[in-house]
Amino acid sequence: MVIVMKPRVSKEEVRIIKAIIEAKGLEVNLSKGNTYYIIGIIGDTSIIDPNKLQALKGVERVMKVQEPFKKANRLFKPEDTVINVQDSIIGGGKLGIMAGPCSVESEEQIVEIAKRVKAAGANFLRGGAFKPRTSPYSFQGLELEGLKLLKIAKQETGLPIVTELMSTDYIDTFVDEVDVIQIGARNMQNFDLLKQVGNTNKPVLLKRGLSATIEEWLMSAEYIMAGGNENVVLCERGVRTFETMTRNTLDLQAVPVIKKLSHLPIIIDPSHAGGDAYLVEPMAKAAIMAGADGLMIEVHNDPENALSDGQQSLTPDKFEVLMNKIKFLAEIVDKEI
Ligand code: PEP
Ligand code: MN
């Protein structure tokens, strides 16, 4: 349930309503804009009589919220959430461009790629240190050594680091050493992991599960936000369908749907969606035109010999060509990097 207060309502009127709701054992989520106050109610709202709330001083309107996600719901917070990571910004008209290799492989590799993607216009460096691989016999990532190398690449370029956390065992290390914690598609419903990152204040990049509905995805965001961490960025990376010509099917409709339902920023990962480098440019361009707040793109300096996902990785040269087109398209949709 959401209470929209009248314009220019007093703080005291808001405080009284908050106290009434909290006295019933429910949680209040306050959202304040320039000209409005919205009081979101979280918990079993069946014990509340909306007509009684409607009669209170300062109340403009009481609305039932049908969706099970609350803090992630646009009804609770009408304006877009903007995530600022050391001046790299995602949302509110700014594009977050996360680029880098699937896996961190060596210092030379990650530093060179970081320099190239930065020069082309990326504002985040991605790179997997802990890798969720389908086969236990595939390269599993450099793990803690990989984090160290990402930090060296950050020192060299200033780019904030985005990397995947797979186990709650490393939560403290990630909070200390990483700028954006990625929760991968395979862990979208690892509720322990979601709760733990929810207890931090690190920005979280939450990828959509391989076959998750948009509602399930937003409920996972809700897990993180329920713990108090509202710095969530959603990432659509393709879902599993009957189609086999592409690795996954990119759900671009998720962009306007998320924009309607939620205030959280959403970026698109065309690399894991298509699974092939030739699909990256058209889908990246389409994502920007659809209203995405950014992109995650795999870039490798030697795709043929990459230890993971080489077939879908762009070379730094191709990434630069793509970025020049993205910068042009960004202007058309009134956005900037
Ligand atoms: C990745 O970004 O490296 C990755 C493994 O992605 P996903 O979780 O979307 O498969
Ligand atoms: Mn990958």
0.85 surpassed by pTM: yes
Q: Which residues of the chain have pLDDT under 70?
A: none
Nearest residue by C-alpha to atom 6 in ligand 1: 184
- 68 within domain boundaries: no
Q: Please indicate, yes or no, whether residues 26 and 168 belong to a single structural domain of this protein.
A: no
With a 6 Å cutoff on the Cβ, whether 237 touches ligand 1 is yes
Sheet order of strands, 2-5 included: 27-32, 37-42, 2-5, 59-63
What is the predicted pLDDT for the residue at 232? 98
Counting from 1 in the atom list of ligand 1, the atom nearest the Cα of 128 is: 3
Alpha-carbon gap, residue 126 to 237, rounded angstroms: 14
Instruction: Name which residue sits closest to atom 4 of ligand 1, judged by CA.
Output: 184
Is 71 domain-assigned?
no
Q: How far is the CA of 120 from the centre of ligand 1 (A)?
A: 22
Q: Identify whether residues 183 and 236 lie together within a single domain.
A: yes
Please report the pLDDT score of residue 227 as a whole number: 96
User: Is the C-beta atom of 141 inside 6 A of ligand 1?
Assistant: no
At 33 the pLDDT is 84
CATH code, 33 = 3.30.70.1140
| Residue 317 resides in a domain | yes
Contact (Cβ atoms closer than 8 angstroms) between residue 227 and residue 262:
no
Which structural domain range is residue 6 located in? 2-63
**231 domain residue, yes or no:** yes
What does the mean pLDDT of the chain come to? 97
CATH number (domain holding residue 318): 3.20.20.70
Cα dihedral value 150, 153, 157, 158, nearest 10: 30
pLDDT at 178: 98
Each residue's pLDDT tens digit, 21-58? 999 999 999 999 888 899 999 999 999 999 999 999 99
Q: Give every CB contact of residue 234 below 8 A, 6+ residues apart in sequence.
A: 206, 208, 217, 221, 258, 262, 264, 265, 266, 267
